């Protein structure tokens, strides 16, 4: 694989991730998950969106490979699947979310 091919592949991956970040509710959900895994209930409270909307976003982000989940009893815990995404979100927070 040439350097140009690798750059093209990386650009496509980053564009896909940034597209997911482009929606305010998805961004809130991912920022909520940046520090550690959370249940849907906690994500709903953090995002201010309805449970059905959050569930739809979580399903889509899981299909996209942005988040992963695990079941513990009757609870499902969601987390960011790729540590690079956590680093990106941390940078966004440091740049744009300073209080």
How much is the pLDDT for 98?
Answer: 65
How much is the pLDDT for 94?
Answer: 87
Mean pLDDT of all residues in 6-16: 88
The architecture (CATH level 2) of 3-96 comes to Orthogonal Bundle (1.10)
How much is the pLDDT for 8?
Answer: 87
Task: Tell me the C-alpha distance between 87 and 22, whole Å.
Answer: 17
In this predicted model, what pLDDT tens digit does every residue of 16-53 receive, in sequence order? 888 888 999 999 999 999 889 999 999 999 999 999 99
Task: Tell me the C-alpha distance between 28 and 82, whole Å.
Answer: 17
State residue 79 phi and psi, 5-degree precision: -150, 165
């Amino acid at each position: 694989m040439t350097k140009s091919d690798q750059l093209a592949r990386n650009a496509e991956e980053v564009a896909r991730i940034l597209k997911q970040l482009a929606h305010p509710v998805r961004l809130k959900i991912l920022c909520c998950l940046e520090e550690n895994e959370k249940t849907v209930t906690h994500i709903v409270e953090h995002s201010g969106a309805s449970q059905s909307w959050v569930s739809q976003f979580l399903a889509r982000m899981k299909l996209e490979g942005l988040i992963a989940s695990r079941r513990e009893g009757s609870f499902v815990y969601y987390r960011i699947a790729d540590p690079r995404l956590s680093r990106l979100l941390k940078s966004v927070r440091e740049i744009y979310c300073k209080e």
